[in-house]
Amino acid sequence: MFESAELGHKIDKARYQEEMPELRQALLDAQYELREKGDFPLIILINGFDGAGRGETLHQLNEWMDPRLIQVSAETALFSSSEESAQRPWMWRYWNALPPKGRTGVFFGSWYSDVLFGRVYDKTDEKQAMLQIGQILAFEKKLCAEGALILKFWFHLSKEKQKKRLKSLEADKKSAWRVTETDWNHHKMYDRIYHQAEQLLRMTSTGEAPWVLVEGEDARYRDLTVARVIYQALRSRLNRGGERRHHAAAEVAPLLPPVDGLQLLDTLVLDRTVDKEEYKTELAVLQGRLHELTRHPNFKKQALMIVFEGNDAAGKGGAIRRVTAALDARRYRIVPIAAPSQDERAKPWLWRFWRETPKKGGITIFDRSWYGRVLVERVENFCSEHEWMRAYNEINNFEQQLVAGNIIVVKFWLAISSEEQLKRFKEREETGFKRFKITEEDWRNREKWDQYKDAVCDMIDRTSTQSAPWTLVEANNKLYARLKILRTLCNALESRLLKSNG
Amino acid sequence: MFESAELGHKIDKARYQEEMPELRQALLDAQYELREKGDFPLIILINGFDGAGRGETLHQLNEWMDPRLIQVSAETALFSSSEESAQRPWMWRYWNALPPKGRTGVFFGSWYSDVLFGRVYDKTDEKQAMLQIGQILAFEKKLCAEGALILKFWFHLSKEKQKKRLKSLEADKKSAWRVTETDWNHHKMYDRIYHQAEQLLRMTSTGEAPWVLVEGEDARYRDLTVARVIYQALRSRLNRGGERRHHAAAEVAPLLPPVDGLQLLDTLVLDRTVDKEEYKTELAVLQGRLHELTRHPNFKKQALMIVFEGNDAAGKGGAIRRVTAALDARRYRIVPIAAPSQDERAKPWLWRFWRETPKKGGITIFDRSWYGRVLVERVENFCSEHEWMRAYNEINNFEQQLVAGNIIVVKFWLAISSEEQLKRFKEREETGFKRFKITEEDWRNREKWDQYKDAVCDMIDRTSTQSAPWTLVEANNKLYARLKILRTLCNALESRLLKSNG
């Protein structure tokens, strides 16, 4: 597939000087318009062979455009020196580096370097590479679905020309420092890199984010090509304006409640209870067990994410406290989730949850979570049907990456009956320190009880996976609920920690 | 000073059970009120002797209060494992961990551990400790000035009782893991720790944030004391409500322009020019020099922060581009500063600048900066006179810490004449890709030319320090300005990099 980038493309100086100034101005203009509109980010990926002008192009981008509106990320997992990133799932570093809407993010190396050189250096096997490619495809698809414009450049150079180029760089005193031992090593591995890159590019050139091949030998050809591609892609997207492609939502099969009216939540016996004395004894035992498990040597190589969702007033806060009572306060972090802030809205919606991924040995407890997307945002129409329909898949993919990154994911839905909720709402209005816990909004949500119920059932159907299953908690009795939660946590930890022993 | 905490304080069970439940509820109530009002953060520091119940108290805090509204930080510089923090100035980690308004942040160990054990282990000398204490005082003062409620607890235990306590913890199978070798080592160093701690506490017990001594032997006494202190401090602050103590601004000598009307800016010859050919040659030379300097081996141990301030349309963007043209795009980051976002407003005002501190070997370029506090915020009355008056000191302190953390700070004021600005504004309105650069606001600011001028002169008077001086750039001629900026940067780098050689 690289043949067209070995033809010896060239642009003469006259043509370059004729076209470039106008193009630069147009590019700058488009960049400012992007900032003004601020409704999508531009993401530029730079990859390719050593000596094919990747560094120069990165430099040029900052020359042509306004560098104040560009952020560059050169981090990769394989060659990383960042302790912070090493503690998190693979894709965490890239999520963190995403530009906000209206800005440009340039990724140098990026996720593709990890896959490519993982294979070239034999650090990953084919199967692992396939998994990574799957994650990449899902990641880019998600970004595109939320409006990002992704341009992926591969800078190519034939083996012979690479050699020539490295030698000529070395010969010039000014540029000699740019040729490293790694470059020559990579030159020796040219065929291997070529082979792996070809496979990788073929598998990741999608309709939404195709690769653009650029022959790297002639600087003028390279520059003009890159500047043009960026300009035209950006211009045409800007011109399309507000009308974002909502892939005809009607084509998707609608989610309908079962025709016989029987839903999963109906099958729960919400009134399960436990004797108070029994509760006290078992609580102490379970908390002790949980404490021990989080101090297990194997836990240092893992991390834990706990999700608490449930009806309003279902007792999430109380349950969380019974869990944290068993934990070292220096090891956990509770993240209460409300509506996203201004800064968070400028990023893909999952971004703020990626950010909170715990380090190894850490515990993050979510009081409400990313499931708001398919619950409150669905019911209250804060996002389109297409958006929340897509979210099931995005969520499953997110959790799958967490699990692959050695994070244990445990999710609780605390279910109470409508009558029990009414009782608790009234109680809250009357009790001093609980009065902050009840708002107008709670009463409004209550009116939509049935809509929420549909949303919850769909959520559980679509996101209870083997690696991150939902646990439904019958919560009309708070004591029963707390014990079930603690027991589930202990079992989840035990099975994962012992597994990693064997 | 620890005598009162060696008296053998005790609370019997009956009294504890009588008082505690009510206190807990009141505490929870106050915590929710804090969240609702959201106008200041509660910061709790936990320090003291091993075995004096610091860990238990941390745990209790999360039991008594709603842990979802508390964030715990146990990081310290001395015992840190974080690569990210090690790359930044000392206080960076603590700035990063500050809770937003309405929330509670518990610091375990914190900045005091660094000073205390730095001395105990002889890792720092007395002079360094004094410098650290100076920074702590300024830091806490700043937090208090912006409304934070700081409660500093020192958990005390006599030497004899410490021994007894460690032994009894070890004897119990359930708690044996909590006694580490470090604890016994610290026990051997008790006298040394006692001595250093006494000095430290005495010097940092201020009117705004005094130390609270807690005898640590009896758990009930300890708990009741801590819970009470927190409750009463929080309650009384909440009751005081909106009326924040604006220390009578009238007492401060007002800033008046010089009576003879002559200001520093008037002394600049704004029309300095340079020949175009000469410009081209020198630009290339300076950019080459700058490039070399940032690749100097010593630069890896330093970092660079460049501040660009100036009149609207003074040419900051163009100047920044001439600087970045000389830099490796993977090493620098441009931070354009606009009005703070919602998330940023919930933190002390300097927080968002602390966050952007570069790592070692890194370069951060600010397009406008923290000086907005004493420029636009002063002129437009976005903050009170007391707030911007205080800011000069806060800024000097901030920059001093940057310099102490091996960061080279270079600040430019780009000055143009009122006539030149008018010319450029008109030009911008007419030129295609520049039309985004001119807004209604620019015209409004222009009407306040004289007020801005006063603010700029005061700023330079008060914040041009030896370690972080201002460079005034005559910018009516853009070419001249760019050369001066590049030359200044080269000289600043050269003097710092060569110094660290010797």
Residue B226 CA, distance from chain mean position:
28
| Integer Cα distance of A297 and A361 in angstroms | 9
Position B502 confidence tier, pLDDT thresholds 50, 70, 90: very low
| Integer Cα distance of B98 and B72 in angstroms | 10
Position B356 confidence tier, pLDDT thresholds 50, 70, 90: very high
CB A372 within 8 A of CB A312: no
Q: What is the pTM of this model?
A: 0.80
B250, β-bridge pairs: none
Over its C-alpha atoms, chain A yields an Rg (Å, rounded) of 27
B412, β-bridge pairs: B308, B471
Give residues with Cβ within 8 angstroms of A261, minimum separation 6. none
**CA-closest candidate to residue A207, choices A260, A259, A150:** A150
B478, β-bridge pairs: none
* Nearest C-alpha in B relative to A61: B329
Asked whether residue B451 carries a pLDDT value surpassing 80, the answer given is: yes
Q: pLDDT at position A189, please?
A: 94
* Nearest C-alpha in B relative to A333: B71
Pick the more confident residue, A265 or B447: B447
CA angle B393, B395, B399 (to 5 degrees): 120
CB B293 within 8 A of CB B494: yes
Q: Judged by CB atoms within 8 Å, which residues 133-192 of B form the interface with A?
A: 174, 177
> What is the residue-wise DSSP string for B196-242?
HHHHHHHHH--SSS-EEEEE-S-HHHHHHHHHHHHHHHHHHHHHHTT
Share of chain B above pLDDT 90, in %: 63
* Chain B residues with CB-CB distance to A322 below 8 A: none
Using DSSP bridges, classify how beta strands A104-108 and A70-73 pair: parallel, antiparallel or unpaired.
Answer: parallel
| Integer Cα distance of B414 and B322 in angstroms | 14
Q: Report how many Cβ contacts below 8 Å link chain A to chain B.
A: 117
CA angle B55, B60, B64 (to 5 degrees): 160
Asked whether residue A254 carries a pLDDT value surpassing 70, the answer given is: no
CB A45 within 8 A of CB A107: yes
Q: How far is A32 from chain B (nearest CA, A)?
A: 6
How does the average pLDDT of chain B come out, rounded? 89
- Return the H-helix or E-strand segment holding A229: helix A219-240
Give residues with Cβ within 8 angstroms of B309, minimum separation 6. B316, B368, B369, B371, B375, B411, B412, B413, B414
* Nearest C-alpha in B relative to A177: B295
Of B29, B67, B320, the CB nearest to A320: B67
Instruction: Write the CA distances from B358 to B348, B366, B397, integer angstroms.
Output: 20, 11, 18
* Chain A residues with CB-CB distance to B326 below 8 A: none
Q: Check A333 against B66: CB less than 8 A apart.
A: no
> What is the residue-wise DSSP string for B379-438?
HTTSS-HHHHHHHHHHHHHHHHHHHHTTEEEEEEEEE--HHHHHHHHHHHHHSGGGGGG-
CB B324 within 8 A of CB B355: no
| Integer Cα distance of B296 and A379 in angstroms | 58
Q: How far is A341 from chain B (nearest CA, A)?
A: 7
Position A175 confidence tier, pLDDT thresholds 50, 70, 90: confident
Q: Give the tens place of pLDDT for each residue, B93-149.
A: 999 999 999 999 999 999 999 999 999 999 999 999 999 999 999 999 989 988 999
Q: Check A67 against B106: CB less than 8 A apart.
A: no
Q: How far is A234 from chain B (nearest CA, A)?
A: 15
- Return the H-helix or E-strand segment holding A303: strand A303-310
B106, β-bridge pairs: B44, B72
Position A181 confidence tier, pLDDT thresholds 50, 70, 90: confident
Give residues with Cβ within 8 angstroms of B501, minimum separation 6. B298
- B285 at interface of A, judged by CB pairs closer than 8 A: no
Q: pLDDT at position A434, please?
A: 63
Asked whether residue A184 carries a pLDDT value surpassing 70, the answer given is: yes
Q: How far is B32 from chain A (nearest CA, A)?
A: 6
* Chain A residues with CB-CB distance to B113 below 8 A: none
Q: pLDDT at position A490, please?
A: 97
Position B250 confidence tier, pLDDT thresholds 50, 70, 90: very low
Asked whether residue B77 carries a pLDDT value surpassing 60, the answer given is: yes
Q: Which of A56-60, A306-310, B288-292, B350-354 has the lowest mean pLDDT?
A: A56-60
* Nearest C-alpha in A relative to B73: A330
CB A410 within 8 A of CB A307: yes
In chain B, CATH 3.40.50.300 sits at 3-240, 264-499
| Test the B interface: residue of A22, A58, A59 with most B CBs within 10 Å | A59
Give residues with Cβ within 8 angstroms of A259, minimum separation 6. none
Pick the more confident residue, A320 or A260: A320
* Chain A residues with CB-CB distance to B74 below 8 A: 330
| Integer Cα distance of A230 and A330 in angstroms | 47
Torsion, Cα A274 A277 A278 A280, to 10 degrees, reads: 100
Of B66, B177, B433, the CB nearest to A28: B433
How does the average pLDDT of chain A come out, rounded? 89
Q: Check B436 against A36: CB less than 8 A apart.
A: yes
Q: Check A59 against B29: CB less than 8 A apart.
A: no
Torsion, Cα A373 A378 A380 A385, to 10 degrees, reads: 120
Directed axis angle between helix A385-404 and helix A126-145, to 10°? 150
Of A71, A317, A328, the CB nearest to B68: A317
* Residue B166 burial (C-beta neighbours within 10 Å; 0-12, 13-18, 19+): buried
Compute the average pLDDT of residues A151-158. Answer: 94
Tokens of B316: 């900051």
Task: Compute how many other C-beta atoms are within 10 angstroms of the C-beta atom of residue A126.
Answer: 9
Q: Give the tens place of pLDDT for each residue, A13-65.
A: 999 999 999 999 999 999 999 999 999 999 999 999 999 999 999 999 988 89
Looking at the domain that runs over A3-240, which CATH code has it been given? 3.40.50.300
**CA-closest candidate to residue A331, choices A352, A309, A306, A367:** A306
Over its C-alpha atoms, chain B yields an Rg (Å, rounded) of 27
| Integer Cα distance of B300 and B306 in angstroms | 17
Of A288, A330, A336, the CB nearest to B108: A330
Asked whether residue A501 carries a pLDDT value surpassing 80, the answer given is: no
Instruction: Enumerate the H helices of B38-158 as residue ranges.
Output: 54-64, 83-86, 92-96, 110-120, 126-145
* Residue B441 burial (C-beta neighbours within 10 Å; 0-12, 13-18, 19+): exposed
Q: pLDDT at position A94, please?
A: 94
- B205 at interface of A, judged by CB pairs closer than 8 A: no
| Integer Cα distance of A162 and A184 in angstroms | 10
CA angle B33, A440, A349 (to 5 degrees): 85
* Residue B56 burial (C-beta neighbours within 10 Å; 0-12, 13-18, 19+): middle
Tokens of A193: 């890199």
Q: Which of A191-205, A370-384, B135-149, B420-434 has the lowest mean pLDDT?
A: B420-434
Of A59, A71, A432, the CB nearest to B29: A432
Maximum Cα–Cα distance for chain A, whole Å?
A: 90
Give residues with Cβ within 8 angstroms of A122, minimum separation 6. none
Position B468 confidence tier, pLDDT thresholds 50, 70, 90: very high
CB B326 within 8 A of CB B290: yes
Q: Check B333 against A66: CB less than 8 A apart.
A: no
Q: How far is B473 from chain A (nearest CA, A)?
A: 20
Asked whether residue A245 carries a pLDDT value surpassing 90, the answer given is: no
Looking at the domain that runs over A264-499, which CATH code has it been given? 3.40.50.300
Long-range contacts, stretch B375-383, CB < 8 angstroms, 24+ apart:
B375/B309, B375/B452, B375/B455, B375/B456, B375/B459, B376/B445, B378/B455, B379/B448, B379/B451, B379/B452, B379/B455, B383/B349
| Integer Cα distance of B14 and A244 in angstroms | 68
| Integer Cα distance of A409 and A411 in angstroms | 7
CB B423 within 8 A of CB B477: no
Q: Judged by CB atoms within 8 Å, which residues 294-353 of B form the interface with A?
A: 295, 317, 320-321, 324-325, 328-330, 333-334, 336, 341-344
Q: Check B317 against A68: CB less than 8 A apart.
A: yes
Q: Check B68 against A295: CB less than 8 A apart.
A: no
Asked whether residue B248 carries a pLDDT value surpassing 70, the answer given is: no
**CA-closest candidate to residue B345, choices A35, A348, A343:** A343
Q: pLDDT at position A399, please?
A: 94
| Start-to-end C-alpha separation, chain B | 45
The backbone torsions φ and ψ at residue A289, rounded to the nearest 5 degrees and listed phi first, read -65, -45
Q: Which of A206-210, A243-247, A360-364, B336-340 has the lowest mean pLDDT?
A: A243-247
Q: pLDDT at position A77, please?
A: 81
Q: How far is A65 from chain B (nearest CA, A)?
A: 9
Residue type, A324: T
Q: pLDDT at position A248, please?
A: 40
* Chain A residues with CB-CB distance to B32 below 8 A: 433, 436-437
Q: Judged by CB atoms within 8 Å, which residues 30-69 of B form the interface with A?
A: 32-33, 35-36, 55, 58-59, 61-63, 66-69
Task: Answer yes or no: is the ipTM higher than 0.85.
Answer: no
Q: Give the tens place of pLDDT for each residue, B285-318.
A: 999 999 999 999 999 999 999 999 999 999 999 9
Asked whether residue B247 carries a pLDDT value surpassing 90, the answer given is: no
> What is the residue-wise DSSP string for A61-86?
HHHHS-GGGEEEE---STT---HHHH
CA angle A312, A314, A318 (to 5 degrees): 115
| Start-to-end C-alpha separation, chain A | 45
Pick the more confident residue, B176 or B295: B295
Directed axis angle between helix A13-37 and helix A219-240, to 10°? 30
* Chain A residues with CB-CB distance to B342 below 8 A: 341-343
Q: Check A330 against B59: CB less than 8 A apart.
A: no
A310: left (phi over 0), alpha (psi -120 to 50) or beta: left
